[in-house]
Each structure stands twice: as structure tokens, then as C-alpha cells.
Amino acid sequence: MANHKSALKKIRADKVKRLRNKYQLTTARTFEKKLRKTNSKSEAVELLKKCASLFDKLAKRNIIHKNKAAGHKSRLAKFVNHLAA
């Protein structure tokens, strides 16, 4: 257990940050799943914009690596481009 007040505060702050990061990551994954389930090209394009934005934000905040975000966006764009109009 921590011995200093600052260490205790750091533990509390880290817990809050971990929960916030987890929420943001699961939200992005949920949108990704919605996108993969859709069959409508127009709906998929809208969801792709939202997903790309979410993954960019995760990368900007160092929740995931920027290359991982780019990979997710690339695969989702490829999926949307192959949907029938």
C-alpha cells in the first residue's frame, strides 16, 4: 500500500482515468460492431465517420497506439467500400 499522500492521490486519479479510458474504448468498439452489422451503404458511411472520429480521439489521448487506430479505420473503410449500394 502507498505510504505518501501524493501516492494515494495518484492511485485515486489513476482509477478514474482507467474507468474513463475503458468507457471510451468500449464505446468505440460498440460503434465498430454496429458498423459491421449494417447492410445499408448510406448508414455505414455515417457510422464510419463516427468510428473514425472515435479512433482518432483514442489515439490522440494515447489510449491506443496511432497505428492501431489507423488499422481499425482502414479495415472499416475497406468493409464499407465493399458494401453493395
* pLDDT tens by residue, 53-77: 999 999 999 999 999 999 999 999 9
Please name which of 80, 31, 84 lies closest in space to residue 55, comparing C-alpha atoms.
Answer: 31
* pLDDT tens by residue, 29-52: 999 999 999 999 999 999 999 999
The structure's pTM equals 0.85
